[in-house]
Amino acid sequence: MAAENDTHPPVLRSRPTARNNEDKTSSSGSMDEKQEFKLPQNPSVARQIITSSTFLGLLLTLVLVSIVIQVANKPSMPPRLWAREELAKYNGTDEDLPILLSILGSVFDVTKGRNHYGAGGGYNHFAGRDASRAFISGNFTGDGLTDNVKGLTSTEIKSIVDWRNFYHRSYMCGVNLVILGWYKCLQR
């Protein structure tokens, strides 16, 4: 008969949360020590997290993204020194050659912007040369397309440096130095 009277389902007890503890504290004035929450001390929990499919998927995704970024940012040409005459060949008129521009002596491969830097593009005047001064002067003809920054203010030089930083972030090929007229300098 005792089994017939025992018709209620068993009571499920959950671990108390901070809110439950506050309720109990405010109603009775003290918290029962039996209901104190303790973190499990099981080392296999960390092992379960590391081996979970979500963690492994996230790790694999991060590895693949880093590989893609490295491949995408790989310079199309190895670092080297450039003479003015050599750099002029990469002005966007030959479809088989990359398009290069230089600013403050750093050379950048801007081929991915062929529509802008190639023949007929709005920025073609920068291609195949170091036209550092034109980046702030706006003079895109003759004498304005020069690497000569003599006489510029520190603010103007800073603006050119900002442009170089833009190209470094956008094209990631700014490790080459341009040697402009180096032979003439040695002859003097």
**Residue spans per domain, the chain:** 43-72, 81-187
**Tens-level pLDDT at each residue, the chain (188 residues):** 555 555 555 555 555 555 555 544 444 555 555 566 565 566 676 667 666 777 778 778 888 877 777 666 665 666 778 888 899 999 999 999 999 999 998 888 999 899 999 999 999 999 999 999 999 998 888 888 988 899 999 999 999 999 999 988 888 565 555 554 443 333 33
Q: Is 8 helix (H, G, I), strand (E, B) or coil?
A: coil
CA distance 142 to 129: 12
Question: Using one digit for the tens of pLDDT, what is the confidence trace for 63-108?
Answer: 887 777 766 666 566 677 888 889 999 999 999 999 999 999 888 8
What fold does the segment set 81-187 form as a domain?
Flavocytochrome B2; Chain A, domain 1 (3.10.120)
Sign of CA dihedral 7, 9, 10, 13: negative
pTM over 0.75? The answer is no
Q: Which helix (H) or strand (E) holds 109?
A: strand 106-109
28 closest CA partner among 36, 18, 20: 20
Helix (H/G/I), strand (E/B), else coil: 2:
helix
User: CB under 8 Å to 49, separation ≥6 — which residues?
Assistant: 55
Q: How far apart are CA 168 and CA 113, in angstroms?
A: 14
